[in-house]
Amino acid sequence: MNIFVAQSGGPTPVINSTLYGVLAQSLELDEIKNVIASVDGLEGILRNNIIHLTNKIDLIKNAKEQPGAILGGSRYELTNADLEKIVDKLLELSINVFCYIGGNGSSRTINKVHEICKSRNLDIRCIFIPKTVDNDIFGTDHTPGYISAAKFLLHSLKQLEADIRSNSFPPQIEIMEVMGGNAGWLIGASAIRKKHKNDFPQLVYLPERETTIEEILSDIQSAMKENTNILIMVSDHMKLTSFTSEINHHNPRQKYNGGISYRLAQEIQKHLEIKTSITIPNKLYRSSMNLVSHQDLQEAEIIGKEAIRTALKGETGKMIGIERTSSNPYEYKLIRVDLSEISGKERVMPSDFWDSRNFMPTDKFKNYLLPLLEKEINMDSNYLTTESLY
């Protein structure tokens, strides 16, 4: 039996752990003879950029400790003709199991490959292994990569807050632009430590809700009455009525509004005449291995192993997901979800997870997220402030 594996899309801090799980489980089973991979996503198959991983277990194990996708990824938009060629190549390589590690777009792709295999009566078992810092894939409690990204964000904000608080005059505004796609899971995590409306970050705009520049300016004026300095969180997929980033016009990703914080800063300085700075961590969410979540690493590897076990049971057209069985203490089990039920569907954050009036999570969101971070984040610790000296 031969296994084929590929990574796709933007990496997460734990994507190589999933790859290691696939390879490690495969090497434990006598019926599996080869583990083959394509470089740079499925585009690598079309270019015949194929490598054998069977004797590279030590290299893949070491890759668990580094950022990026060791196999490389791709956002190449595959045509139906490309997909047929990919299936032909899998046949040529005598592949029995196809494991694809990716996000929402990848779930659509592997589902199409699965459908082609089914229509041609081919016994190629297709297993989707989710990964994304956006946490927007249906059928799973959370996706590998999300916990680490949330941990990075919270650590960064805690340090940024200490810096902002140390300069009380003149008043100033800081804008942080956050990844997360069209869902508020990651940017919402930025406010998980808030107990009151005026705690940092004071203003948090989720991508699910459309707003206007006028609303934002009004929110800022209200927040400045209670705070010398404020921190505003915006999404790189932020929906601002009649106000878009010029970057969007040159980017093929749907609804992408990256760089919107620059335009927003200009509007704030123009209308309110308040100094406004910008922080955009961008790829640091998925490359800061010094803040990677150990829970995330563990789950990513286990999901990779489960993909192989699932395929060897004869299943195909499945995603390996996480089902939470307990929040206190946090416990979970792995599940298999039909690709037809989740393929390409974006899971936005439920409206009852967010208090839009106070720009902070509800208890429901806290009960969802905090168990995933309880061993990673000290929610009660704060840096000393000037007030501590009095």
- To the question of pTM greater than 0.75 for the whole model, the response is yes
Residue 116: per-residue pLDDT = 97
Average pLDDT of adjacent 10-residue blocks, the chain of 390 residues: 95 97 96 96 94 96 94 89 97 97 94 97 97 96 97 94 85 94 96 94 96 94 92 92 57 60 91 93 89 96 98 97 96 97 93 96 97 82 66
Domain ranges of the chain: 2-134+293-342, 146-286+350-385
Cα–Cα distance for residue pair 354/361, rounded to 1 Å: 5
Question: Do 16 and 297 meet the contact criterion of CB atoms below 8 Å apart?
Answer: no
Question: Do 100 and 109 meet the contact criterion of CB atoms below 8 Å apart?
Answer: yes
Amino acid type, 318: K
Beta-carbon count within 10 A of 322 CB: 19
Burial class (CB in 10 A: 0-12, 13-18, 19+), 38: buried
Residue 165: per-residue pLDDT = 86
Q: What does the CA dihedral 106, 109, 113, 119 come to, rounded to 10 degrees?
A: 140
Question: Do 95 and 32 meet the contact criterion of CB atoms below 8 Å apart?
Answer: no
Domain 2-134+293-342: assigned CATH number: 3.40.50.450
Per-residue exposure over 110-124, b if at least 16 CB sit within 10 Å of its own CB, e if not:
bbbbbbbbeeeeeeb
Cα–Cα distance for residue pair 133/49, rounded to 1 Å: 27
Cα–Cα distance for residue pair 118/122, rounded to 1 Å: 6
Strands (E), 201-283: 203-204, 229-235, 275-279
The percent of the chain in helix, strand and coil, each rounded to the nearest 5, is: 40, 20, 40
Beta-carbon count within 10 A of 39 CB: 18
In this chain, the answer to whether the domains covering 2-134+293-342 and 146-286+350-385 adopt an identical fold is: yes
Distances (CA, A) of 20 to 63, 246, 292: 8, 40, 16
Contacts of 257 (CB under 8 A, 6+ apart): 235, 236, 237, 238, 239, 240, 244, 245, 247, 248
Query: Architecture of domain 146-286+350-385 in CATH?
Result: 3-Layer(aba) Sandwich (3.40)
Burial class (CB in 10 A: 0-12, 13-18, 19+), 105: middle
Beta bridge partners of 330: 327
Q: Strand, coil or helix: what is 157?
A: helix
Q: Is the peptide bond preceding residue 329 cis, with omega within 30 degrees of 0? A: yes
pLDDT tens digits for 81-114?
A: 999 999 999 999 999 999 999 999 999 999 999 9
Cα–Cα distance for residue pair 365/359, rounded to 1 Å: 13
